Amino acid sequence: MIEFNNKRVLVLGLKKSGRAAIRLLKKLNVKIFITDIAQEKNCEELFQNTTFIPYNDVVNELGKIDIIVKSPGIKSDIEILKKAKNKKIVIISEIELAYHYIDKSKVIVGITGTNGKTTTAKLITKILIDSNILAVAVGNYGYSFSDAILDNNDADVFVVELSSFQLLDIVHFRPHIGAILNLSVAHLDYHKSYGEYINAKMNLFKNMKYGDFLIYNVDDPLIKKRIKKFKCNKYTFSLRNRLADTFIENEQIIHSGRVVLNKTDVKLIGEHNLYNILAAVSIAKVFYIEAENIKNSIKYFENLPHRIQYVRKVNNVTYYNDSKSTNVLSTICAINVFKTPVNLIIGGLDRLQNFTDIITHKNVKTIIAYGETMARIEKLAKEYNKECLVSNNLADAITLIKGREDVEEIVLFSPASASWDQFKDYEERGNQFIECVESIEELKAIK
Which residues form the domain of 85?
7-94
On whether residue 445 sits in a domain, the answer given is no
Specify the pLDDT at position 280: 98
Nearest to 115 by CA among 270, 278, 330: 330
CATH number of the domain enclosing 359: 3.90.190.20
Note whether residue 222 is domain-resident.
yes
Structural domain contains residue 43: yes
pLDDT at 190: 84
Establish if 447 belongs to a structural domain: no
For the question of whether the overall pTM of this predicted structure is more than 0.95, the answer is no
Whether 156 and 113 share a structural domain: yes
Domain count, the chain: 3
185 with 262, same domain?
yes
In a domain? residue 18:
yes
Mean pLDDT of each 10-residue bin along the chain, 447 residues long? 96 95 97 90 82 95 98 94 97 97 97 96 98 96 93 95 96 98 87 92 97 98 96 96 96 96 94 97 98 96 92 93 95 95 96 95 96 96 97 92 75 96 95 96 65
Same domain for 284 and 138: yes
Q: Tens digit of pLDDT for each residue in 296-355?
A: 999 999 888 999 999 999 988 999 999 999 999 999 999 999 999 999 999 999 988 999
**In this structure, what are the phi and psi dihedrals at residue 331, rounded to the nearest 5 degrees?**
-70, -40
Is the same domain home to 197 and 179?
A: yes
Question: Distance between CA atoms of 331 and 406, rounded to whole angstroms?
Answer: 28
- AA letter at 431: N
- Verify that 247 and 295 share a domain, yes or no: yes
Give the C-alpha separation, 275 to 239, whole Å: 7
Residues 6+ apart with CB under 8 A from 424: none
Q: Give me the chain's average pLDDT, please.
A: 94
Residue 192: per-residue pLDDT: 84
Q: CATH no. for residue 196?
A: 3.40.1190.10
- Alpha carbon 133 to its chain centroid, in Å, reads 24
What is residue 406's predicted lDDT score, i.e. its pLDDT?
Answer: 63
User: What local confidence, expressed as pLDDT, does residue 266 receive?
Assistant: 95
Q: Which of 299, 333, 351 is the last residue of a domain?
A: 299
Query: From residue 4, how far is each of 69, 85, 145 by CA, in Å?
Result: 12, 18, 18
Tens digits of residue pLDDT in 227-276: 999 999 999 999 999 999 999 999 999 999 999 999 999 999 999 999 99
Distance CA 374, CA 393 (A): 10
pLDDT for 447: 47
Q: Does 414 lie in the same domain as 431?
A: yes
Q: Given 63, 94, 125, which residue is the final one in a domain?
A: 94
Q: Which of 299, 321, 353 is the last residue of a domain?
A: 299
SS3 string, the chain, reads CCCCCCEEEEEECCCHHHHHHHHHHCCCCEEEEEECCCCCCCCCHHHCCCEECCHHHHHHHHHHCCEEEECCCCCCCCHHHHHHHHCCCEEEEHHHHHHHHCCCCCEEEEEECCCCHHHHHHHHHHHHHHCCCCEEEEECCCCCHHHHHHHCCCCCEEEEECCHHHHCCCCCCCCCEEEECCCCCCCCCCCCCHHHHHHHHHHHHCCCCCCCEEEEECCCHHHHHHHHHCCCEEEEEECCCCCCCEEEECCEEEECCEEEEEHHHCCCCCHHHHHHHHHHHHHHHHCCCCHHHHHHHHHCCCCCCCCCEEEEEECCEEEEECCCCCCHHHHHHHHHHCCCCEEEEEECECCCCCCHHHHCCCCEEEEEEECCCHHHHHHHHHHCCCCEEEECCHHHHHCCCCCECCECEEEEECCCCECCCCCCCHHHHHHHHHHHHHCCCCCCCCC
What is residue 140's predicted lDDT score, i.e. its pLDDT?
86
CB under 8 Å, gap of 24 or more: what pairs does 130-137 form? Answer: 130/293, 130/296, 130/297, 131/284, 131/287, 131/289, 131/290, 131/293, 131/297, 133/157, 133/287, 135/159, 137/161
Q: What crossing angle do the helices spanning 271-286 and 117-130 adopt, rounded to 10°?
A: 40
Question: Are 232 and 127 found together in one domain?
Answer: yes
Using alpha carbons, list the distances in angstroms from residue 158 to 36, 70, 138, 148, 205: 29, 22, 7, 8, 16
90 and 113, same domain (yes or no): no
Residue 58 placed within a domain = yes
Task: Identify the pLDDT of residue 86.
Answer: 97
354 in a structural domain:
yes
Same domain (yes/no): 89, 146 = no
190: in domain:
yes
Say whether both 114 and 256 belong to one domain.
Answer: yes
Task: Kindly state whether residues 262 and 349 are assigned to the same domain.
Answer: no
- Do residues 149 and 208 both lie within one domain? yes
